[in-house]
Amino acid sequence: MIIPNLTRNVRPYAFVENVVTHADYRNRGYATDCLNYAKRIARTSNCYKMMLLTGSKEERTLDFYRNAGYNSADKTAFIQWLDIEEKKV
């Protein structure tokens, strides 16, 4: 998704979420190819950055994203779910 931004001379940024590879096809480079393709789209769209959000806590998955050039030190994400009905106690 390309999101417009009011800073950086109104240049957009790219947002990546829910990168999942079926277990039978992991370690074949498909996720890397997908992220590289997303980066090409972002550059073509004049994005100044890419942000990636993952729900995984697995170190192997986090290392994959770090090796792909993403870091988790620059920003902190907070999420408030709006479409999930609160459980009544």
What mean pLDDT comes out for the span 17-45?
Answer: 95
Q: What digits encode the pLDDT tens for the residues 41-71?
A: 999 999 999 999 999 999 999 999 999 999 9
Tell me the β-bridge partners of 17: 53
SS3 33: helix
Q: Domains in the chain, start-ordered, CATH in brackets?
A: 2-67 (3.40.630.30)
Per-residue confidence band for 83, with pLDDT thresholds at 50, 70 and 90: confident
The pLDDT value recorded for residue 2 is 67
| pTM of the predicted structure, to 2 decimals | 0.78
Helical ranges in the chain per DSSP H:
30-44, 59-67
Unique residue bearing structure tokens 């390309």 = 2
DSSP strand pairing (2-3 vs 13-17): antiparallel
56 or 88: which carries more pLDDT confidence?
Answer: 56
